[in-house]
Homo-oligomer: A and B are copies of this chain.
Amino acid sequence: MTGGAALGGVGPFGGTTISTLAARIRSRETSSLEITEVALAAAHKYGPMLNCFVTIDDHGATQAAAVADEELAAGLDRGPLHGIPVGIKDVIATNGLLTTMGSRHFSDHVPTADADVVTALRSAGAVILAKTQTHEFAYGPTSDRSASGPARNPHRLGLMTGGSSGGSAAAVAAGLLPLALGTDTGGSTRVPAALCGTLGLRPTGQSLSSRGVFPLSPTLDVVGPLAATAEDIAIAWRSLSPSGGLFPAAEGTEDPRGLPAAIHAGELRYALVTCALTERASADSADAVRIAAAALTRDRAPVPTVFLPEIDACADPYRVIQSAEAYALHHERVERAPELFGSEVLERLHEASRVAGWEYVLALADKERLRARVLVRLRTADVLLMPTVPVSAPAIDQRSFPPETLWNSPREALLSMTSAWSVLGFPALSVPVPGTGDGLPRSVQVIAKPDQEEQLFIVAAALEESFTAL
């Protein structure tokens, strides 16, 4: 974990993994209720400074924790998340619990059913402790535009968390929660994870249920977890994914259900992505990728590069698809009550309304064409490395860069390295990389082929191990 933070890891979960907590609950060293009460106290103490929570559910969380303890006492063990407090991004429906979408259109909205991903976490025994701040309607990568105000970066409170899952990233990075759900359309789990110094996963496109999740761009949206370790991300993903329980075998062991043994990080074939966009990454961002590559290969041959011009070519289809779908979702609200939108999101929606139908049709075709091309180029690579973001966290409300900067705006910069993988449908994970000149987190984006999330977890675990040994 990157150090020197104002509130980085200050909470009760800083430096503690879900499996450690799970073991301590099962040894009666602690209980879900005790953990939950500590978490609630920390959430009330630090949450307001970070503005990472929209709602803290003291009553629901303590009730759920008590039930979790009773179940364990009765011999019902739901697995590693049993009794563990988690946060849920405020675009994800929680039954009976305020869910605002970060918007004044939904300031009083209380869903009457859980989203499927919330049901999955509850079935795994998780305790829903809080709803986390989101950029208004998840429509922005900065999390400083929201009906509940800007989320603040635990490392420096005047800086952005990145977004749109800013509250989830801040809460995990501050150690207030071991796990929080986000959503990712163009980078909304990966970008705030990178800026706050946690892990953030975008699973394979369309691989998790979106029922009960307020959409931004349905063909690109996917729910994903943010957590502090590779193992915690893997636990979360396996609980969320319909296929997630298929590959839990430890490295080197035979899976009891006859599946092949899990592979080692050393058996994977890596490549560094190069394209016009990666040339524009800051020296610090590029360094982080090189450090990660060196950590993964050690004394073996250096990681080859793979030139992927398709990454650059994805920017336009991303804009077109996301704009057309977002305006389709919001057009009635824009016509009926434009005053309830923040001015920036409203302006972006007006711009989105101007995308033509034929452009959208072509963008969907481009998406398939680019995906096919990238799959062909990656015949000899399993896992790719590139920056998650090309800059460190900008200041809250910052909307431009100094003239010499290569990016027009923080929004453009923050999404530049992540949105292509959304278009292509590949899973990607932002992993922290230690050390930096300016005292802020840096990261590497690890990318696998569709449905190969387990490779991401293996690589992230290998990176953690290597960085801990430094």
Contacts and interface: CB of A to CB of B under 8 A. Distances in A.
Contacts of A362: 328, 331
A53 B361 CA distance: 33
Interface in A311-340: 320, 323-328, 331
Interface in A321-378: 323-328, 331, 352-362, 365
Contact of A323 (B325, B327, B357): B357
Contacts of A355: 356-358
A320 B357 CA distance: 8
Contacts of A353: 356, 358
Contacts of A331: 358, 362
Contact of A324 (B328, B354, B361): B361
A328 B320 CA distance: 13
Nearest to A324: B357
B361 A325 contact: yes
Contacts of A365: 328
A354 B361 CA distance: 13
A325 to B, nearest CB: 5
Contacts of A354: 356
A334 B324 CA distance: 23
Contacts of A326: 358
Contacts of A324: 356-358, 360-361
Of A323, A327, A353, A357, the most chain B CB neighbours within 10 A belong to: A357
Nearest to A325: B361
A331 B359 CA distance: 10
A162 to B, nearest CB: 27
A356 to B, nearest CB: 6
Contacts of A358: 324-328, 331, 352-353, 355
A366 to B, nearest CB: 11
A404 B352 CA distance: 42
A334 to B, nearest CB: 10
A355 B361 CA distance: 11
A20 to B, nearest CB: 46
Nearest to A323: B357
A359 B353 CA distance: 9
Nearest to A332: B362
Interface string A148-177: 000000000000000000000000000000
A367 to B, nearest CB: 13
Contacts of A359: 328, 357
A330 to B, nearest CB: 9
Contacts of A356: 324, 327, 353-357
A235 to B, nearest CB: 35
Nearest to A355: B357
Contacts of A325: 358, 361
A328 B362 CA distance: 6
A139 to B, nearest CB: 14
Nearest to A219: B361
Interface string A48-80: 000000000000000000000000000000000
Contacts of A328: 357-359, 361-362, 365
A326 B326 CA distance: 23
A362 B323 CA distance: 13
A450 B357 CA distance: 27
Contacts of A323: 357
A333 to B, nearest CB: 12
A219 to B, nearest CB: 9
26 contacts: A320-B357, A323-B357, A324-B356, A324-B358, A324-B360, A325-B358, A327-B356, A327-B357, A327-B358, A327-B361, A328-B357, A328-B359, A328-B361, A331-B358, A331-B362, A352-B358, A353-B358, A354-B356, A355-B356, A355-B357, A355-B358, A357-B357, A357-B359, A357-B360, A360-B360, A360-B361
10 residue pairs, one from A and one from B, having the closest CB atoms:
A324-B357, A328-B361, A355-B357, A327-B358, A357-B360, A328-B358, A328-B362, A324-B358, A324-B361, A325-B361
Given A331-B358, A357-B360, 8 more contacts: A324-B356, A326-B358, A327-B357, A328-B358, A353-B358, A355-B356, A355-B357, A357-B359
